[in-house]
Chain A
Amino acid sequence: MTERYVVAIDQGTTSTRCIVFDRRGQLVSLAQQEHKQYYPKPGWVEHDAAEIWRNVERLGPEALRRAGATIDQVAAVGIANQRETTVLWDRVTGHPIGHAVVWQDTRTDTMVTELDAEPGAEGVRHRSALPLATYFSGPRIRWMLDHHPGLQQRAERGEVLFGTMETWLIWNLTGGLHVTDVTNASRTLLLDVHTLDWSAESLAFFGIPRAMLPEVRPSIGVFGTATAAFPGVRIGAALGDQQAALFGQTCFAPGEAKCTYGTGSFLLLNTGSELVRSTHGLLSTVAYQIKGEPAAYALEGSIAITGSLVQWFRDQLELITSAPEIETLARTVTDNGGCYIVPAFSGLYAPYWRSEARGVIVGLTSYITKGHLARAVLEASAWQTREVVDAMNADSGLALKTLRVDGGMTADNLLMQFIADVLDVPVVRPLASETVSLGAAYGAGLAVDYWPDLEGLRQNWHRAAQWLPTMDDAKRETEYGNWQRAVSRTFDWIQA
């Protein structure tokens, strides 16, 4: 067999990476390029989609070169992408219309508040299983149509196309195939999560012409064959990055969950073929769909500030010079000294959803050193995880037994141990921390029979590290109580 590798394109918020994987799911080579972040106004975040495509075109061959691989050795390519980021482009020229509006961008907040009060909003919420929020793509499309003269008419004539990043990349890779996958489509507010197709009512609610939307496809199944970057290679999968991580962690069974610790953190719990509607502030989302099979769903709890709190500690407070040093500093003391940091930098997310909250540091005394602050920074990520896990257990009726973790912060042993301690379940890191890319690779490989089935993928999963809970129950309860009191101090800070 000459096909030895599968390539993943991980199109993330700050950078794009191409990673070559072998049959055991191990990383063979990696090429990475950051792209420019545009902040034209407070709350606005944009990317240049053309720059991102140029990066993919360059990184693909570079990753293969580093692996010593040729294009004919690549069985398939898979895509994992930053979700909800919205790109519009001209069908004929292929040029993006303005910059892509990024998932963090909050320019649509006034519009979303107004739309949420309209009579049709309940139907949109029900069909999409999502709250109306600036986070999702639908309102961004509306905003772009409103703010580019003549765009609405051109969109209705099918001259303007919409896509999230995977759609934009597949369009460029294949020279004009306009498709999306169910996981990305499920983050637009426009999808009916039961039929897995665009909802005519939801499109009418936002005034978005169907002609501009891509065709919705299963996440795993051949989309087409690339003509650029990887000429001749089949595109076997596309998934939103967090869904890709769930797949890469082989969380294929209901009740299996993973948390990816990055800038923010995302906990996803597979709920199987049943869509679970949260009553505790979590999101319902499509986890993945294999061609010819029913979709699997997931509950998602996102934590806005985890790794970015460490970055803040490094860049704004300048108490450390690199992110991993937070552990070194935290280990200079044995506990938090009674100090807690609640990073509600832009309000509190799941399960509180309080936009008027702002961050606090509480419990300060003259005893507190920067070591205690470093501890409090790490502990904040763990307690926020606990809150999301509690909400998930309540919504799903399943008690989490093990948390599978991945992402850059899993290199922090102190944090991982603390998470095991506060959740009172084992925390397990798999032998592949690049699970976002791996999930895309797994999907792509599965689509072209490079890997036989889900069971085959499970056999690739191995435990690389495990942290077992050691904290006694009384201590855990006291500390959790303190954390919750600290959280309550953040409420009502911004006054209307």
Chain B
Amino acid sequence: MQSIERAAAVLRLLAGGAGRLSLGEIARSLDLAKGTTHGILQTLRKVGFVEQDKASGHYQLGAAMLRLGTGYLDVNELRSRSINWADPLAARSGEAVRIGTVLEGQVLVVHHVFRPDDTFQTLDVGNLLPMHATALGKALLAYGATPPASLDRFTSRTVGTQRELAAALRVVRECGWSSDIEELTPGEASIAAPIRAYGGLVVGAIGISGHVERICDSRYHPRPQLVATVRDAARAVSRDLGAARR
């Protein structure tokens, strides 16, 4: 935990200092070995908290540091990094794929891959979905997003109370994936799993949705094969975003 203290000290120094500092200056200021300081700076650089000037090699606070608290992963960046894994998910599941992130208490659709049957479909990137009534939303809620104050009812199966929602989210955390079965639209079901970035932070969710009889088995449970496919895709995107293997 000493390394966290030291990293905090480096950030305070850079935030308080005048402009860019060299490795030597930082090490001297904090009375640390150059090797140790360099290791801390490289890790901070990797997560975007520190930037290194190409020409001088000096360090300054990174853009990610300034954006702390406003969501650090650009949604277009998220789409760009996940596009190669969303396509195979649609192909393997035969269903439409969506990637969502949190925007003002709702799920913002940041990427959408059509169900691969070449029927007419329209892109709904930019649309907003309710958090508590969608698999994407529940995956986001389970790992830190703030639940909405009022739980609007869309079907007879929509989660209706905060207590019910809390119980559902506990299950999501235990299983590592979420679902909604006719909770937003009658006849429609979906499965989703969280997308993690470095440090395990959940930055979005990826999921499939389609007719309930295709998504669920005869017992009205999401098909295990589809769940596995969704989770594999979520892990693949997470790996690309720098989350540790788990």
Contact, CB under 8 Å: B77 / A322: yes
Is B76 close to A, CB under 8 A? yes
B87, closest chain A residue (CB): A431
User: Which residues of A lie under 8 Å from residue B112 when comparing CB positions?
Assistant: 465
Contact, CB under 8 Å: B113 / A465: yes
User: Which residues of A lie under 8 Å from residue B77 when comparing CB positions?
Assistant: 322, 324-325
Contact, CB under 8 Å: A322 / B74: yes
User: Which residues of B lie under 8 Å from residue A463 when comparing CB positions?
Assistant: 114, 116, 118, 121
User: Which residues of A lie under 8 Å from residue B87 when comparing CB positions?
Assistant: 26-27, 431-433, 464
Q: For the complex, count residues of B whose C-beta is within 8 A of A.
A: 26
User: Which residues of B lie under 8 Å from residue A401 when comparing CB positions?
Assistant: none
Contact, CB under 8 Å: A324 / B113: no
A367 to B117, CA, bound (A): 46
Contact, CB under 8 Å: A462 / B117: yes
Contact, CB under 8 Å: A431 / B75: no
Contact, CB under 8 Å: B92 / A325: no
Contact, CB under 8 Å: B125 / A413: yes
Contact, CB under 8 Å: B118 / A411: no
User: Which residues of B lie under 8 Å from residue A25 when comparing CB positions?
Assistant: 91
Given contacts A328-B74, A411-B79, A413-B123, contact A321 B63 (CB under 8 A): yes
User: Shortest distance in angstroms between A66's beta carbon and chain B's nearest beta carbon?
Assistant: 10
Is A30 close to B, CB under 8 A? yes
> CB-CB contacts of B90-134 with A at 8 A, as 1s and 0s?
111000000000000000000011101110011101100000000
User: Shortest distance in angstroms between A403's beta carbon and chain B's nearest beta carbon?
Assistant: 16
Is B80 close to A, CB under 8 A? yes
User: Which residues of B lie under 8 Å from residue A327 when comparing CB positions?
Assistant: 76
User: Shortest distance in angstroms between B241's beta carbon and chain A's nearest beta carbon?
Assistant: 12
Given contacts A431-B91, A462-B91, A464-B90, contact A27 B75 (CB under 8 A): no
User: Which residues of B lie under 8 Å from residue A431 when comparing CB positions?
Assistant: 87, 90-91, 113-114, 116
Is A467 close to B, CB under 8 A? yes
A410, closest chain B residue (CB): B83
User: Which residues of A lie under 8 Å from residue B63 when comparing CB positions?
Assistant: 321
A463 to B90, CA, bound (A): 11
A465 to B112, CA, bound (A): 8
Q: Select which of B90, B114, B117, B126 is within 8 A of A466 by beta carbon.
A: B114
A24 to B88, CA, bound (A): 9
A467 to B121, CA, bound (A): 10
Contact, CB under 8 Å: A324 / B79: yes
> CB-CB contacts of A403-432 with B at 8 A, as 1s and 0s?
000001011110000000000000000011
User: Which residues of B lie under 8 Å from residue A26 when comparing CB positions?
Assistant: 87-88, 91-92
Is B84 close to A, CB under 8 A? yes
Given contacts A431-B113, A463-B118, contact A27 B88 (CB under 8 A): yes
Is A10 close to B, CB under 8 A? no
A322 to B91, CA, bound (A): 29
Contact, CB under 8 Å: A433 / B84: yes
Is A434 close to B, CB under 8 A? yes
Q: How many A-B residue pairs have CB under 8 A?
A: 78
User: Shortest distance in angstroms between B55's beta carbon and chain A's nearest beta carbon?
Assistant: 13
Is A45 close to B, CB under 8 A? no
A346 to B114, CA, bound (A): 39
A412, closest chain B residue (CB): B76
A458 to B8, CA, bound (A): 56
A322 to B88, CA, bound (A): 25
Scan residues 10-31 of chain A and give those whose CB is less than 8 A from a CB of chain B.
Answer: 24-28, 30
A389 to B126, CA, bound (A): 29
User: Which residues of A lie under 8 Å from residue B117 when comparing CB positions?
Assistant: 462
Is A323 close to B, CB under 8 A? yes
Scan residues 450-494 of chain A and give those whose CB is less than 8 A from a CB of chain B.
Answer: 462-467
User: Which residues of B lie under 8 Å from residue A464 when comparing CB positions?
Assistant: 87, 90, 113-114, 116
Contact, CB under 8 Å: B80 / A323: yes
A28 to B85, CA, bound (A): 9
B90, closest chain A residue (CB): A431
A431 to B126, CA, bound (A): 20
Contact, CB under 8 Å: A328 / B123: no
Scan residues 51-73 of chain B and give those whose CB is less than 8 A from a CB of chain A.
Answer: 63
A30 to B121, CA, bound (A): 29
User: Which residues of A lie under 8 Å from residue B90 when comparing CB positions?
Assistant: 431, 462, 464
A323 to B92, CA, bound (A): 29
> CB-CB contacts of A28-39 with B at 8 A, as 1s and 0s?
101000000000
User: Shortest distance in angstroms between B127's beta carbon and chain A's nearest beta carbon?
Assistant: 12
User: Shortest distance in angstroms between A387's beta carbon and chain B's nearest beta carbon?
Assistant: 26
A466 to B115, CA, bound (A): 12
Contact, CB under 8 Å: B123 / A411: no
A433, closest chain B residue (CB): B83
B112, closest chain A residue (CB): A465
User: Shortest distance in angstroms between A166's beta carbon and chain B's nearest beta carbon?
Assistant: 24
A224 to B197, CA, bound (A): 43
User: Which residues of B lie under 8 Å from residue A323 when comparing CB positions?
Assistant: 80
Given contacts A24-B91, A431-B91, A464-B116, contact A324 B74 (CB under 8 A): yes
A28 to B233, CA, bound (A): 11
A411, closest chain B residue (CB): B80
User: Shortest distance in angstroms between B134's beta carbon and chain A's nearest beta carbon?
Assistant: 20
Given contacts A27-B87, A324-B74, A431-B90, contact A465 B114 (CB under 8 A): yes
- Give the interface of A toward B (CB within 8 A): 24-28, 30, 321-328, 408, 410-413, 431-434, 462-467
For the complex with contacts A323-B80, A431-B91, 18 further pairs of A-B residues with Cβ separation under 8 Å are A25-B91, A26-B92, A27-B84, A322-B74, A325-B76, A326-B76, A410-B83, A411-B76, A411-B79, A413-B79, A431-B87, A433-B83, A462-B117, A462-B118, A463-B118, A463-B121, A464-B116, A466-B114
7 contacts between A and B (CB under 8 A): A322-B77, A410-B83, A411-B76, A411-B80, A413-B125, A462-B117, A463-B116
5 smallest CB-CB distances across A and B, nearest first, come from: A462-B116, A324-B76, A324-B80, A411-B80, A327-B76
